[in-house]
Structure 1
Amino acid sequence: MTPQEPSVAAFKNPLARYFAATRPAFLTASLMACLIGLAVTKLAGSSFDIMLALTTLLFAMLAHAAANVLNDYYDAQNGTDACNVERIFPFTGGSRFIQNGVLTPAQTRNFGFALLFGVALAGLWLMLRTDFQLAYIGLAGLFIGWAYSAPPFRLNSRGWGELCIVAGFLLIVVGADFVQRRDFSAAPFIAGLSYALLAANLLYINQFPDRTADMAAGKLHWVARLDVPQARWGYVLIVLLAYLWLIMSVALGGLPRSALAALLALPLSVKAAHILLRHASEPQQLGGAIKLTIAAMLLHGALLSLAILMNN
């Protein structure tokens, strides 16, 4: 059953309306990144503060929500979502809150910046409870969340979108570990990179249904820059990088052997890649591949977190 796009009638309650505008189902990606970071902390034997962990989770999910809302606003400004007729809702083409009149552009913009303000407050509280160096992680995350879509940077439009996603999710993993450890370590970077790459692959595959509209709006990410037969292999490349990193990290001692359990997500990535390779030029056939990409990302993150925790 195809999900219905948002409408004014469906969201008469203002709280429900604004909550849904954050695309809450997709915030699980940040939740999983936090869990990986916290698992790494436990593996290191660092002391664990549950209140700091919960605030870190709130911090990460607020940041993700702010990025989602601001992306909707700036995509409404450049016109890509309005002209996107090949979208696969709710995965591509934005939340449709502006296009369907549920929120005005001004309301969406103000809500996005209010969420960023909430992120700043949560980050400040965490910094005061831990160490000033947390500000580096927070400021980098805020910049990525804003500059991903906003002019003058428009990083995704310049082909930097996947790197932004990798960096953003790595910052969550590193930040969750830092808050507990109160110091920087290579361990969360090593543990989180494979997951961050799979998260970037979700952005990558989502750009195929959006490709025509994005090109018309000047959003020249790599799926738009390359011909479709070439662009589809980018998905395969990212999958290979993710799983090879996991295997190498275990082989070189950066992760425990049990972390190889995360390879159980590989068949989902392979099946998604197979669908994309066959139907890259038929955007409406990619819904299954997008769902498999989400499932592979979340399963990989869950298995990796559990495997690390089991070594404590």
Structure 2
Amino acid sequence: MPLAGIALTPLLVSPLAPSPRRSRVATSAARRPRALQRARCSATAASGEAGELSHATLLWRAAKLPIYSVALIPLTVGSASAYYHAGLFFTKRYFVLLTAAVLVITWLNLSNDVYDSDTGADRDKKESVVSITGSRAMTQNAANFSLFLGFAGLLWAFAEAKDIRFILLVISAIFCGYVYQCPPFRLSYQGLGEPLCFAAFGPLATTAFYFSNSSLNTSSGGAALLPLTKTVIASSVLVGLTTTLILFCSHFHQIDGDLAVGKMSPLVRIGTKAGSRIVSIGIVMLYILLATFGTCGSLPPSCIVLCALTLPMGKTVVDYVLKHHEDNAKIFMAKYYCVRLHALFGMALASGLVLARNGILA
């Protein structure tokens, strides 16, 4: 089954900078500030201090491909939880839901650019889709069309699963995204983005995708509904936490722009030094929760072992943020380190559930 392997996808496209050790060597050889070098076309790390960005770099940033791991991981972990509990996995349903989730995230990204352009938050953000296309209306229409197609896929999956809990949780997750950025709510401007992100991608989306694997009981003619288990609850909390770290770290290089338009993100309120400490606490909490869930039997030993292997990546995030939190040209990359942690941790979690179902480290 493709559950664990497919979670590798964001690792292949995540535009990470070189490791901090190699970066120091490269930086010492340079006579003037320059952007961090990256593997793909995203060769620049900060828009304001790195000169003009190439068109390819702007398109890469606008696409935000690595961020789509937030569509992939909740689905994969939720599906793996269903497989662990009941041995259920529906390949066609999985890929339809993956497409639908990507389309919903596309709506989030595009509508975020639209409404940030309205408030002026993206005035100096060259990689904004509105700035690139020069058309707010076209971007808004593309966002709405993506949401329409994505919701159609979700409705198809609901018709297959026949579990009302699935569609209710999905709608709740989408509503969190709406109140996060869309008028008249715009709760992200009040510093409430992180709680909404945690709820949407963790307990709501991950659990919803678990329920999407309910199946029609052909012998009785009714639906065989999956029960809510402590395993999926624990998994959803961990997924929510790693997703929230991505959003939190995306604020570091945007403080001046956010402050100018009254967007009171957590880092506008507390500053980068305190923010870097919160990232450290968040990473420590992630692994404390992992150990706690393993100790109380919410997660099988295989999950604990595999997720513990991501500790070096977690340490990389902490070290990088603590060192570069005041450097806009480098802290831009922090969210991509968090994306990699999110993908690795989610892959390990899903793989552990699959292995446990098959009697390995169960």
TM-score computed with the length of structure 2 as normaliser:
0.75
The alpha carbon displacement at 1:35 in A equals 0.9
Residues 293-304 of structure 1 aligned to structure 2 (within 5 Å): 293-304=338-349
Map of 1:233-312 to 2, 5 A cutoff?
233-260=277-304, 261-312=306-357
Equivalent in the alignment of 1:173: 206
User: Could you tell me which residue of structure 1 aligns to residue 72 of structure 2?
Assistant: 31
Q: 2:172 matched to which residue of 1?
A: 140
Task: Report the counterpart of residue 88 of structure 1 in structure 2.
Answer: none
Residue pair 1:272, 1:288 contacting (<8 A) in 2 also: no
**SS of aligned partner of 1:48:** coil
Is 1:185 matched with 2:217? no
Give the number of equivalent residue pairs: 294
What amino acid does structure 2 have at the position aligned with 1:253? G
Give the corresponding residue for 1:76: 117
Residue 181 of structure 2: aligned partner: 149
Q: Which residue of 1 aligns with 2:20?
A: none
Deviation at 1:151, TM superposition (A): 1.7
Distance 1:80 1:250, change over 3 A: same
1:128 counterpart letter in structure 2:
A
Matched to 1:47, the amino acid is L
| Stretches of structure 2 lacking an aligned partner (at least 5 in a row) | 1-36, 44-52, 215-224, 358-362
Answer yes or no: is the 8 Å Cα contact 1:116–1:142 preserved in 2: no
How far off its partner does 1:267 sit? 1.8
Structure 1 portions without partners, runs of 5+: 12-16, 85-92
C-alpha contact (below 8 Å) 2:300/2:356 kept by paired residues: yes
Q: How does 1:113-128 map to 2 (within 5 A)?
A: 113-128=144-159
Contact 2:279/2:318 (<8 A) preserved: yes
1:32 to partner: Cα distance: 1.9
**Cα contact 1:63–1:145 (8 A) shared by 2:** no
> Which moves more between the two structures, 165-174 or 283-292?
283-292
Once the two structures are superposed, residues 126-181 of structure 1 have per-residue CA deviations (whole angstroms, 9 ceiling, x without a partner) of 22222233231122122122221112211211111111221121222112110113
CA contact (8 A) 1:6 1:97 kept: no
Find out whether 1:58 has 2:99 as its counterpart.
Answer: yes
Larger Rg: 2
Question: 1:6 deviation in Å?
Answer: 7.2
Output the CA distance in 1 between the equivalents of 2:276 and 2:66.
26
Q: Which residue of 2 aligns with 1:201?
A: 245
Aligned to 1:131: 163
CA distance change for structure 1 residues 244 and 103 in 2, over 3 Å: closer, same or farther? farther
Q: Tell me the distance in 2 between the aligned counterparts of 1:134 and 1:168.
A: 13
- Between the aligned partners of 1:118 and 1:213, the Cα distance in structure 2 is 33
Q: CA deviation at 1:20?
A: 8.7
Does residue 211 of the first structure (1) align with residue 242 of the second (2)? no
Question: Is contact 2:246–2:336 with CA below 8 Å preserved after alignment?
Answer: no
Which amino acid is the alignment partner of residue 174 of structure 2? L
Percent of pairs with identical residues:
21
Relative to structure 1, is the Cα distance of residues 215 and 53 closer, same or farther in structure 2, using a 3 angstrom cutoff?
Answer: same
Q: Which amino acid aligns with 2:256?
A: T
Amino acid at match of 1:299: L
Task: Give the AA of the match of 1:306.
Answer: S
Q: Aligned partners of 1:48, 1:307: CA distance in 2, in Å?
A: 16
Number of the residue aligned with 2:32: none
2:81 counterpart (28, 40, 59): 40
In structure 2, the residue corresponding to 1:133 is in which secondary structure? helix
Which amino acid in 2 is paired with 1:262? C
Question: Which residue pairs with 2:276 in the alignment?
Answer: 232
State the shift of 1:22 in Å. Answer: 5.0
Displacement after TM superposition at 1:184 (Å): 5.0
Corresponding residue for 1:14?
Answer: none
Post-superposition offset of 1:106: 0.8
What letter corresponds to residue 254 of structure 2 in structure 1? D
| Residue in 2 that maps onto 1:87 | none
- Give TM-score scaled by structure 1 length: 0.86
